[in-house]
Chains A and B, each alone.
Chain A
Amino acid sequence: MPGYHSPMGNSPLEVKVISKRFGLPNSSSLDVFVQHDGYQALKKALAVKPEDVINEVKNSGLRGRGGAGFNTGMKWSFVPKQSAKPKYVVCNADESEPGTCKDRPLMEYDPHQLIEGIVIAGYAIQSHQGFIYVRGEYRYLLDIVDKALAEAYAAGFLGKNIQGSGFDFDLCTHTGAGAYECGEETALLNSLEGLRGYPRIKPPFPAVVGLYGGPTVVNNVETLSNVPHILLNGADWYSKLGSPKNGGTRLFCLSGHIARPGVYELPMGFPLRRIIEEVGGGVLGGKKLKAVIPGGSSCPVLTADEIDVNMDYDSVAKAGSMLGSGGVVVLDEDTCMVKLAGRIMRFYAHESCGWCIPCREGTSWLKHLFDRFHGGAALANDPDTALDVSMNILGKTLCPLGDAAAMPTISILKKFRHEFEEHIKLGYCPYEKTVVMSEK
C-alpha cells in the first residue's frame, strides 16, 4: 500500500505546538480541528485591527521557515496599506529542498491550521485572495487540502464575510509540476501566473509588486502554520519558546545516517548535537559522525567538530552555515564527500532554471567535473578549478539558487579537500574502492 503517512518522528524532547494535533485520529478534519481550539485564533484576529495582528506576529520573533528566515511580521508590514491592485497571500508549499519533508505532514495532518494561518495573514495585510502552491509530486495532499478548504468554506471560515466580520477571503490550491526553482518566491509567482518559473528581478520585492503585479506576501507552510498559535497564546509566549529573536519551535527533518529519522518539533535554538544524539538516537549503526548538513542541501556542511551549535538562525549563521529549511542530513564516517558534492551539484544543475549564465553554466560544469572526479579521472588542479567556479557563481546570480549550489560545494571543497586529493592520488574512490564510471 502506498504510504500516505508523512514520516514523523517521536521524541520526548519535542515541544509540540504546530504538530500538537498530529496523530489524533482524523486530525485533518474540521471537527477535530475545531475541538482542539481550531479557528479560535482567527476569531481573535478578526476582532482586532490588522496592524495589531502584524505587530503581534512581528513581536513574536517568528521567522520564515522557508529558508531565508526573515521576520514574518516585518515582511507583512512592507505591504502597502493602499494599493490599486489587489493584494495576495501565497503559501509556499513547494517543499523541494533536499533533506526537507516538514510541510508535507503539516498539510497532511493539519491542513486547517495552515488555512487558519493564511486567513489571518490575509486579514493582516487586507488581502482578499490567497493561493497554496503545492509541488506537483504532492498530489495526494491536494485532495486533503482541498477537502479542508471546502469544509472551511462551508463553515464560514473562508469566503464572504468570514464569521460575520465583514472580511472576505478566498483561498485555493495550485499545483506545480516538478521544479525546485518554483520554491523561490518570485519564480513561484511567475509559475503561478502560468509562465516558466523564472525568478524576477528584485527590487521590487513581492510585498510591493508580486502576484499579478499586486502586493503579495509569500510565506512557507510552516511559517503560516505557526501564526494561529501566536495569535492565540500571544507574542510573548511564542517568543519565549525559542531563543532571542528566534521565536517558537521548528520542525527538524532528520535524515541520512541517523538511527531514528523523522520530523521532530523542537524549540528554536535546540543544540544540534542533542538533536543528533538524543532526538535522533545517534549515527546509524553506531558509526562515527563525519559531517552534518544543518538545513537542507543548500547549506554549508558542518564537520563533526562543528556541531556544538544551537539551532536557531543567528547561531547557525555564526557557525558558518544556515538553518535553512530545517533539513538536518547526517553523514557518517564512510560517506564519500566527493560523491556527495557531485550529487548535490547534479541536483542544482538539474533544477537550475537556466535563466542566468553563472548558474546555468556553472552548475552544469561542476556537475560534469564532479562526476569525472568521483569516477576516478580527476586532474591535479580540479579542486582549485571547482572552488574557483563555485566562487564565480556565488553572489553573482539573479536568484539565490546559484548561491544554494555554490555554498555547500565551497564548504565541502574547503573542509574536505583531503578527500578530493585522495581521489586524485588513487585514481579511484577510496570509499567505493573502485573506479566509478558514473553516467548520470
Chain B
Amino acid sequence: MKEQTHKSPFVILDMPPKQENLHVPGPYTRSPSLSPRANPAAEPVTLTINGKEVKVPPGTLVIEAAKQAGIEIPSYCYYPGLTLQGACRMCLVAIEKMPKLQTACTTVVASGMVVHTETEEVKNARKAMLEFLLTNHPLDCPVCDKGGECELQDAVFRYGAAETRFMESKLHHEEKQFSNLVYYDWPRCILCYRCVRVCDEGLDVNAYGIGFRGAHSEIIPNQGEKLECEECGMCIDICPVGALTSGTYRYKTRPWELTYTGTICNHCGDGCKTTLAIRNNVIIRANNRDHSGSNGEFLCVKGRFGWDFVNHDQRLTAPLIRKNGRQETSTWEEALPMVVERLTAVIKEHGPSSVAVIGSNRTTNEENYLLGRFARTVLGTNNLDHHRTADFSSLVGALTAADADGRYATIEDIAVASSILVVGNDPTHQHPFIAYQIRQAVRSHDAHLYLLNSQEIKLQRQAKQVVTVAAGGEAESIRALAGKSSTVSDDLGTLQENLRKESGTIIIFGDEIRGSDVTTLVQWGLTLPGQTRFVALGDYANSRGAADMGLLPDVLPGYGSLADSTACAQIESAWGAKIPAVSGRNIRSILQGVESGEIKALLVFGSNPVKTFSLPKEHLGKLAFLMVAELFPTETSEAADVVLPATSFAEKSGTVTNTCGQVQVLKKTMRKAGTRSDLEILLALARLMGHPWSYRTADDVLREIIAHVPGYAIALPNLLVGRAVQTQPAGTPPALASTDLVFSSKDSLFTSGTVSRYSWALNSVDEAKKPHGHIF
C-alpha cells in the first residue's frame, strides 16, 4: 500500500511560461487564440438559416446559431469552448452573397445573413469530406473499439459516401501505446486536433503535439513514444473516432452491450457527473457520456479511471467479527445484533456520553442525516464528528452574520467569472474540475485570476497576479488585507488595489482559512466592489454534505446551533425525539477520549481516523467496542470488533453536495453481493435498538431533508432531471472550537484516500512511479 502524502505540485519551475497571449484566431494549437465570443448582453442579430429566422447574440458562430434553431451542422474539429480550427471542413455551408462555401464553425453571424445548410452543393461537399476522411481510414467498424459511438461512422451513416472510389493502398502505421491508459491508432485519426487542444487549453498540460506533415501528420506524445501527463483521459473521450482508446476499456465490450447510469463521481468535492457503464454487474468504464452536468466531457484521472476500486477483489463482502482475537467472516444476521448488544451494554454501563460516532466524507446526505439522527436520538449522544476538510460551518456563519444573500458561487459561476481569487489550496490536484473551470474563465472570458498561496501551484500560469507567502501565511495575509494586521506587503497592496478595480470576484479558499479567519475573509470580501461570492474547498465527494447534515458535535443539520432552542426544536419535531442538550465531543476530543478510556464504544462509518489523525492503533485496543463500516480493510478496521461491508457510491442511491453547495443525485448502478449501504445499516441498527424509523428508501430521507433542513428547500424536479441544485445554507453555528479540527487531506490528482489505494488505474499512473517527475 502506498503512502498518500501530498507531493509537491508538478515541478512548474522547469516549465516554460505561457508566452504572450497572441490572440490570433486559430488554427493555432500552441498559444491561446481568440475564438469569437457571443455577447449575450448586446442587441441580438437576426439571420436566416434554411428559411428559419434565428435571433442570436452578436459574435455567435453560424454553427451555434444553427444549433439554436434545431439545425445540425456536422463538425469534427469544432468543439465548443476550444479554439477554432477550420480543419475538418465538415461544416461547410452556403451563405448567400459569398462566392464559396464557408465553414460554419468559423463564420460569425451577421445581420441579414442567409445561410443554407442542405443545398445540393453543401451535401456534396459534406459527402466529399467524408470520402476524403475514409480514404486512409480503416473500414473495419465491426472490430473498431469506437464502433457504435464513432462520430465518423455516424456521419457516414447520415450523410452517405458508402461506396469507395479510393483504389490506392492505404497508408498505415502501427498502433502505439502512449501510456498505461492511452493508446493511439494512427490510421483512425482524422486529425481534428481536439485532443491536442483539450490537453493544452483545458488542462494546460500540453502533452500532445503534431508530428510530420501532410498525409503523414500524426499526433505525438510529449516524451518521445510516451505520454507524460495528468492522465485525465480527456483526449480519449473527446476523440470522435477510435484513434485514442482507453487502456482500461479497449476491446472489452461493445458500447451497446453496456448499461449506462448517470451518477456522480465519488472522489473529490467538485462532484462531476459521470456515466458508469456496467456489464455483467461490473463497471467497465466511466465517462460523462451524455455531457450532462456542468463538467460536460470533463473528468480527471480519478473520475475517468479511478472507479476500478469498486471491482477490486479485496472489497469487503461479508461482515467480520472478532473472535478469539481474530476477525472472522460472519453474516449480517450475526453481526448486526452483536453491534446492538455490545452498544447497549456500553450505554447501560457507562452512559451515552461514552459512545462516539465518526462519520464519512463520502457517504450520501441521506446517510449522514440518518447517522446524525442515530447518534443523537438512538444512542443519545452528540459525540459526533467527521474529518472536516474545509470550514464550511464558519463560512455559513459569517455570511449569515453579514446578512449577505446570494453569496455562494456555483461551480458553473466559476467558468464565467470575471475575477477569481484563490486563497491556498492547489485546485489542479485537489479540485481538478474547479481548476478546469478557472482556466475556462481565463481563456474564454478573460477572467483575472489572483492567487494567494504559500506554494507554487500550476494555476500560476493563468494568473494575473500571484502573491506568494511564507508557509502557513495565507491566513495572516487575509487579516492584513482586512486591515487586522499591520504586515501588509507591497504584493498584498497591489492585490488589494487590483481587486478593488474588479466588478465582482469569486473568492475560493482552502483549509488554510478557517475559524475566525473565514469571518475576516468574508467581511473583507464583502467590501470588494460588485457581488463577491465564496467557495470553500473541501475534499471528497461529500465533505460539504457531512457538514450540511450536521455531522458535528455542536451543529444541527442546516447549521443551527445545538445551543439554539428554536433550531433544536425544529429538528426534534422532525425526528419526534429529544436531542441531548450537552454539546458533544469533537473528533479530536473523541480520539482523546479513546486514549483516556472515557470513550468506550466507537462507531466509524467510511473513515480511517488511525491514518487521518495519526491515531496510535494501540489506543483503539482500549475501547470496549469498535465498529467500522467500510469498503476495504483499513488501519482502523483492522482493530475493529465488527466490520460491516458497506456499499460504494456505485451501489447506492442518494444525493451528495459538492464543495460549492450544489446537490446532485447519486444513482445506484449495480449490486455488490454481501454489502449493505450505510443507510440500510443505520435503519437496521435503529430498528434493532427499538427505533423503527419509517423511511423505506433514500428518497424518503431526502424529502425529510428538504422539508426540515434549513437551506435545503430545493426543488426535487430540478434534482431529478440531473441538475446540480444550489442550496442556500444559513445559520448561526458556534465558532470553530480549534483550528486543528479543519485540515485538508491534500490528496493529489492520483490519490483519493483509502479507495485510491485499491485502484489499479490510479496506482499505475501514480506520480511516484514516474521516472522523471512531472515536467509540464
Contact = CB atoms under 8 A, between A and B. Distances in A.
Chains A and B touch (C-beta atoms under 8 A apart): yes
Contact of A357 (B20, B88, B168, B171): B88
A295 to B, nearest CB: 21
B20 A212 contact: yes
Nearest to A354: B217
Interface in A383-418: 385, 388, 392, 395-398
Interface stretch (A93-101, A193-201, A226-234, A332-340): A193-201
Given A195-B30, A201-B84, A396-B92, A357 B129 contact: yes
Contacts of B24: 189, 200, 209, 213
A193 B135 CA distance: 33
Interface in A198-215: 198-201, 204, 209, 212-213
Contacts of A395: 100-101
B214 A352 contact: yes
Interface string A353-374: 1111110111111001100100
A196 B131 CA distance: 27
A354 B22 contact: no
Interface in A204-250: 204, 209, 212-213
B89 A397 contact: yes
A193 B22 contact: yes
A369 B214 contact: no
B125 A357 contact: no
Contacts of A365: 132, 135, 166, 168
A343 interface: no
Contact of A360 (B20, B28, B128, B217): B217
Given A398-B87, A398-B89, A379 B167 contact: yes
Contacts of B770: none
A349 interface: yes
B216 interface: yes
Contact of B128 (A199, A200, A364, A396): A396
Given A212-B20, A365-B132, A357 B190 contact: yes
Interface in B114-171: 124-125, 128-129, 131-133, 135-136, 165-169, 171
A201 B213 CA distance: 18
A350 interface: yes
B86 interface: yes
A27 interface: no
B126 to A, nearest CB: 10
Contacts of B101: 395-396
Contacts of B212: 354
A392 B217 contact: no
Given A358-B129, A396-B128, A209 B23 contact: yes
B213 A352 contact: yes
B215 interface: yes
B25 A201 contact: yes
A137 interface: no
Contacts of A398: 27, 86-87, 89, 103
B748 interface: no
A179 B215 CA distance: 14
B25 to A, nearest CB: 5
A350 B100 contact: no
A36 to B, nearest CB: 41
B535 interface: no
A361 B137 CA distance: 10
A190 interface: yes
Contacts of A199: 27
A361 B28 contact: no
B633 interface: no
Contacts of A396: 89, 92, 100-101, 125, 128-129
B215 A349 contact: yes
B577 interface: no
B759 to A, nearest CB: 37
A363 B212 CA distance: 16
A314 interface: no
A190 B125 contact: no
Contacts of B129: 357-358, 396
Interface in B77-112: 84-90, 92, 100-101, 103, 106
Interface in B417-432: none
Given A196-B213, A354-B217, A201 B27 contact: yes
A364 B213 contact: no
B89 A200 contact: no
A269 to B, nearest CB: 26
Nearest to B130: A357
A351 interface: yes
Given A200-B27, A357-B190, A395-B101, A372 B215 contact: no
Contacts of B30: 195-196
Contacts of B128: 358, 392, 396
B214 A354 contact: yes
B30 to A, nearest CB: 5
A270 B259 CA distance: 74
A392 B131 contact: yes
B215 A198 contact: no
A51 to B, nearest CB: 27
Contacts of A392: 124-125, 128, 131-132
Contacts of A212: 20, 22
Most chain B CB atoms below 10 A, which of A199, A362, A372 = A362
A361 B217 CA distance: 11
A356 B22 contact: no
A179 B132 CA distance: 23
A277 B727 CA distance: 87
A429 to B, nearest CB: 19
B210 interface: yes
Most chain A CB atoms below 10 A, which of B124, B128, B210, B215 = B215
B27 A360 contact: no
Nearest to A189: B24
Contacts of A361: 132-133, 135-136, 215
B214 A350 contact: yes
Given A213-B23, A379-B167, A392-B125, A354 B213 contact: yes
A198 B101 CA distance: 21
B214 to A, nearest CB: 4
Contacts of B593: none
Nearest to B76: A357
B438 interface: no
Interface string B186-229: 00001100000000000000000010111111000000000000
Given A201-B85, A398-B87, A398-B103, 8 more contacts: A200-B25, A209-B23, A354-B215, A355-B85, A355-B191, A361-B136, A381-B165, A398-B86
Interface of B: 20, 22-28, 30-31, 84-90, 92, 100-101, 103, 106, 124-125, 128-129, 131-133, 135-136, 165-169, 171, 190-191, 210, 212-217
11 contacts: A196-B210, A200-B24, A353-B214, A354-B213, A354-B216, A355-B191, A356-B87, A356-B89, A364-B135, A388-B165, A396-B125
Q: Which 9 A-B pairs have the closest CB atoms?
A: A354-B217, A392-B128, A364-B215, A368-B168, A361-B132, A352-B214, A354-B214, A395-B100, A213-B22
Interface of A: 179, 189-190, 193, 195-196, 198-201, 204, 209, 212-213, 349-358, 360-365, 368-369, 372, 379, 381, 385, 388, 392, 395-398
